[in-house]
Structure 1
Amino acid sequence: MSTAHPTGPATEAAEPPLPRIVRAMAVVERVGNALPHPFWLFWILSAILALTSAVLAALGVSVVSPSDGETVTVRSLLSGDGLAMALSTMIDNFASFPPLGTILVVIMGVAVAERSGFLAALMRVSVSRVPAAWVVFAVAFAGTVAHVASAAAYIILVPLGGLAFRAVGRSPILGIVVAYTAIASGYDASPVPTPNDAIFAGITTAAAQIIDPDIYVSPLSNWFFNIASSVVLAAVITVVTRFVLSRRPDLDPDPDAELDDIAALSLGPRERSGLRRAGLALLLALAALLAVALPAGSPLRGEGGAIAESPLLDGIAVVVAFMFGLVGIVYGWTAGTVSRPAEVPRLMVEGIKQMAPVLVLFFAIAQFLAYFEWSHLGDVLAVRAAEALQTSGVPIVLVFLLILVLLTLVNVMVTSGSAMWSIAAPVLVPMLMLLAVPPETTQALFRIADSGSTAITPMSPYFVMALGFLQRYRKSAGIGTLASYTLPLAVAMTVVWTLLFLAWWALGIPLGPGAPVR
């Protein structure tokens, strides 16, 4: 008697189901791709705002302002006054948008440092001259510092991370993951002032002026917190890499992978000399600044010799731009990348060109924020939400955690920090100010949410870029592969960073110069 053998499709081995992380990332990508460009998103939000203001104005919704006791009533953007305001102030809204001038000034200095090759050389030397035992921490910390180069940080440091790990006998795949996650999920923790600091401070200032028209938030308002955060996050990455990622069995590159030359980490004599001279020039400039600013009667100090509210901090964007420009010029002149004074403004122009997409987005954001302020909708939402929280007795720490979770989830879809903060700040900053939380503290909380989930979302263009670098070593790597590597790091960084914030709040440590945490 013969035994029948099953034939046909039933005999084919069933394909294994996709891992959950892969399916989740695919859903995120589809939903995120359905969102409009941030430029159009803000015009859509403006239209929603106009309709909402018209309805609330018709209902006569109002609140009593805690700042001056005056009654504030919602104004309709669809009224004659609203339409006249929208048309007549459009240019002024853009020209007076708080981050605009600051970011343009800062980026001119940063552009000289970046395009002269100074920042790239600094990153290379920071990851190439460390013992094998410290390579993870060095690459991770370099990732937090690299934010001064904005998007160039990904292009320069991510492949260097793979080279640095391979140079000490460790997996280049791990080096790429560490470098990318340090930049993405620690993006707002730079110990060095960055263009993002100027953008966030400007948006926070605009939102805080809903409650206090005279308030000003400095680009250095979170500086102390950022310095501590960069060290803590680098340590978290080191620990998780050592005890979690290093134990994965899939860290070896493909046998036929095209490996970059490790010699790319080394610097030539002129580059090394350029870094030394640039460092000396920076020290001399800082010493000169301190010599002028330290005396009690210094013109850079404020009333009564104050530093917190002073011309020095008011002009800190100019100081930061000058320092970056100085090291870029000195390095470029020494290394041969800048040979004539006429090349310096050319480098600045290139930096401004790189900012063009951001400037276009700023135009839409500026209108949205101006409409939001004019309609008084921000006042109403802030006061009503603050009253609800006060009467409910919810601890402020729990409010912090709820805001953090909400913004973290939004960040998965809206990966532009300036766009997300422009949407959230006009509500969260005034609301928490009415609960005695300074705007600088709300901004520090936002930094955690804006960074933590960035390393795992395929909506970030730099996620795709990092995946490309990863595929140099493993051709079969996909979205789920990279996300599975970065997920443990991103979660650990977000949790520990949150605990650091809560400890900072509990201890009452200032977040930056003249910026109390509570």
Structure 2
Amino acid sequence: MSQPQPNLDPNQSKLMYRFLNGIERAGNKLPDPFFIFVYLAAFVILLSWLISSLGVSVVHPGTGEELPVRSLVSGEGLNYILSSMLTNFTGFAPLGLVLTMMLGIGLAEKVGLLESAIKKSILNAPKSLITYAVIFIGILGNLASDAAFVLIPPLAAMVFYTVGRHPLAGLAAGFAGVGAGFTANIFIAGTDALLAGISTEAAKAVDPNIIVTPVDNWYFMIVSVVILSIVGALITEKIIEPRLGTYKGKVDKALEESSPLEGRALRNSAIAGLVYLGLVALVLFWPNSPLRNEDGGIVPSPFLSNIVPIILFFFITVAVAYGVTVKKITGTKDIPKYMAEAMKDMSGYIVLIFAAAQFIAYFNWSNLGTWVAVNGAEFLTSIDLTGLPVVIGFSMLTALLNLLIFSGSAQWALEAPVFIPMMMLLDYHPAFIQAAYRIADSSTNIITPLNPYILIVLAFMREYDKKAGLGTLISLMLPYTIIFYTIWLVLLVAFALLGIPFGPGIGVYLP
């Protein structure tokens, strides 16, 4: 017999369904993210012509130079559009960063390292710590990108069912870790490189020399993993499981233990990883190391500015060690083959970046970005809204927009060109604004009906409860969204007020 749906107040249920249906209808009316940026680029072209025809100019806050708004509907503008199209794309910072990272992470995924590590970590967790392990591994699962959405929730449900706990509580915990904690990690992941690249491009409107690196939110995200793992486990055990009650259904589910060969492969990859890290540490702390700055420090240094290649070789090292052990890599030709398969998975991202890069480039070349940033900052100053409340307001706006635009990269490419320069003129560091964006984008991933993985998770859910619907799933996930986001906002403000760095040498304000 299947477990009945959790009881909902009829009025609350109707209100929730109306809200979710409205979000879904509005979101489905939006074009594909690629065309959103195509339309935005066209809008910028027309807006630049209109503003330019009014003779509008703006004083650059960094150089003091008066910059006229330049029209893209002109001979000069047409020449820029045509001559810059390729360089806008190939020179777009996130493109190289993300594709380079995915060569290593993708190789680790294709040889089965990430899946094996995730499965073994959850299955080997003590019963008293299973909930914490599920949330923790779910959060770290973003290393496997979207694959984590189809791997961790059903595995967590089976683990809970096997130990006599409600499987839907396990599924909810797994989905919360993967979705609501998607942007956090103790490792530097592809998400860090992607967002940092977009932030760097947007920041050029104010300071062409500033660079946001993939490690600029690292300290904040490490602390986030620990806190969210604890909070997520408490939500599961104190709110979700009591609400679900005792599971009385029976399903034909069995857990597949890791094979001895997979165990040896994980051991070998761990050894290889430790050896690699030891070599990096040896070079880093060697006297007069080329990886440190002229004063012998690490912040800033060539080590941090070149962290992506270092991480790439780490993942290649552990992936090759695992793949050779399980005999998925039997020759050198297998390594580029798996890397190529990983690149195929990035095709949608590459297409999206082409359009996003043109929009951002037009926005900056026309000086509309500087004009919007300066006027926006002056407006916020005039109403005395320049402190942390403006950053919190921006984060809340992001949470609402994420209900309509699920793609994190698309949404940040849309928001960053407007808000990064504006906040920089209020003296905020772009990496701090990026952190405020990330917590909002992640927290709401699990309740937006536009998340394509919600339907997949719902299918897993119906294996245990045939009557479960979208409202059932959202009602289970809503406590995670609300509490995760609240806790994350408190953590963001605590870091800011206490002066705790968000990453190496990164504070709230510009140096």
Smaller-chain TM-score bracket: over 0.9
Corresponding position: 1:261 with 2:254: yes
Q: Aligned partners of 1:463 and 1:144: how far apart in 2?
A: 17
Residue 7 of structure 2 corresponds to which residue in structure 1?
none
State the one-letter code of the partner of 1:329: V
Q: 2:373–2:421: 8 Å Cα contact kept in structure 1?
A: yes
Residue 425 of structure 1 corresponds to which residue in structure 2?
416
Match of 1:207 among 198, 202, 220: 202
Match of 1:394 among 364, 385, 395: 385
Give the deviation of 1:295 after TM superposition.
Answer: 2.9
Residue 357 of structure 1 corresponds to which residue in structure 2?
348
Match of 1:293 among 284, 293, 300: 284
Corresponding position: 1:141 with 2:136: yes
Alignment of 1:146-185 (within 5 A): 146-185=141-180
Q: Aligned partners of 1:283 and 1:163: how far apart in 2?
A: 32
Q: Aligned partners of 1:94 and 1:148: how far apart in 2?
A: 25
Residue 65 of structure 1 corresponds to which residue in structure 2?
60
Alpha-carbon RMSD: 1.4
Give the deviation of 1:456 after TM superposition.
Answer: 0.3
Q: 2:168–2:461: 8 Å Cα contact kept in structure 1?
A: yes
Residue 98 of structure 2 corresponds to which residue in structure 1?
103
Q: 1:173–1:253: 8 Å Cα contact kept in structure 2?
A: no
1:34-67 CA distance string (max 9 Å, x none): 1100000101111111222111111122221221
1:46-104 CA distance string (max 9 Å, x none): 11112221111111222212211111221112122111111111011101010111111
Q: Aligned partners of 2:501 and 2:456: how far apart in 1?
A: 37
Give the deviation of 1:302 after TM superposition.
Answer: 2.3
Alignment of 1:79-478 (within 5 A): 79-249=74-244, 252=247, 254-255=249-250, 258-262=251-255, 264=256, 266-478=257-469
Give the deviation of 1:336 after TM superposition.
Answer: 2.4
CA 490–253 in structure 1, closer or farther in 2 if over 3 Å, else same: farther
Using the TM superposition, name which of 311-320 and 489-498 deviates more. Answer: 311-320
Partner of 2:67: helix, strand, or coil? strand
Partner of 2:438: helix, strand, or coil? helix
State the one-letter code of the partner of 1:369: I
Corresponding position: 1:500 with 2:491: yes
State the one-letter code of the partner of 1:175: G
1:390-422 CA distance string (max 9 Å, x none): 222225111011101111100001011111101
Q: Aligned partners of 2:83 and 2:322: how far apart in 1?
A: 47
Q: 2:165–2:247: 8 Å Cα contact kept in structure 1?
A: no
CA 413–251 in structure 1, closer or farther in 2 if over 3 Å, else same: farther
Q: Aligned partners of 2:246 and 2:431: how far apart in 1?
A: 41
Q: Aligned partners of 1:50 and 1:251: how far apart in 2?
A: 60
Q: Aligned partners of 1:253 and 1:101: how far apart in 2?
A: 51
Give the deviation of 1:446 after TM superposition.
Answer: 0.6
Higher Cα radius of gyration: 1
Using the TM superposition, name which of 469-478 and 408-417 deviates more. Answer: 469-478
Give the deviation of 1:516 after TM superposition.
Answer: 2.3
Using the TM superposition, name which of 451-460 and 298-307 deviates more. Answer: 298-307
State the one-letter code of the partner of 1:66: P
1:280-333 CA distance string (max 9 Å, x none): 111111011011011341011123223233222222111111111111110111
Q: Aligned partners of 1:351 and 1:204: how far apart in 2?
A: 25
Residue 4 of structure 1 corresponds to which residue in structure 2?
none
Give the deviation of 1:250 after TM superposition.
Answer: 5.8
Partner of 1:307: helix, strand, or coil? coil
State the one-letter code of the partner of 2:435: A
Q: Aligned partners of 2:455 and 2:366: how far apart in 1?
A: 40
Q: Aligned partners of 1:137 and 1:253: how far apart in 2?
A: 24
Q: Aligned partners of 1:251 and 1:423: how far apart in 2?
A: 45
Q: Aligned partners of 1:259 and 1:115: how far apart in 2?
A: 29
Unaligned ranges ≥5, structure 1: 1-15
Q: Aligned partners of 1:441 and 1:466: how far apart in 2?
A: 32
1:183-208 CA distance string (max 9 Å, x none): 11111111111111111010000011
TM-score (norm: length of structure 2) = 0.95
Number of residue pairs matched by the alignment: 499
Residue 514 of structure 1 corresponds to which residue in structure 2?
505
Q: Percent identity?
A: 38
TM-score (norm: length of structure 1) = 0.94
Q: 2:386–2:426: 8 Å Cα contact kept in structure 1?
A: no
Residue 479 of structure 2 corresponds to which residue in structure 1?
488
Partner of 1:63: helix, strand, or coil? strand
Q: Aligned partners of 1:276 and 1:77: how far apart in 2?
A: 58
CA 70–395 in structure 1, closer or farther in 2 if over 3 Å, else same: closer
CA 325–427 in structure 1, closer or farther in 2 if over 3 Å, else same: same
Partner of 1:297: helix, strand, or coil? coil
Q: 1:174–1:251: 8 Å Cα contact kept in structure 2?
A: no
Residue 3 of structure 2 corresponds to which residue in structure 1?
none
Q: 1:307–1:514: 8 Å Cα contact kept in structure 2?
A: no
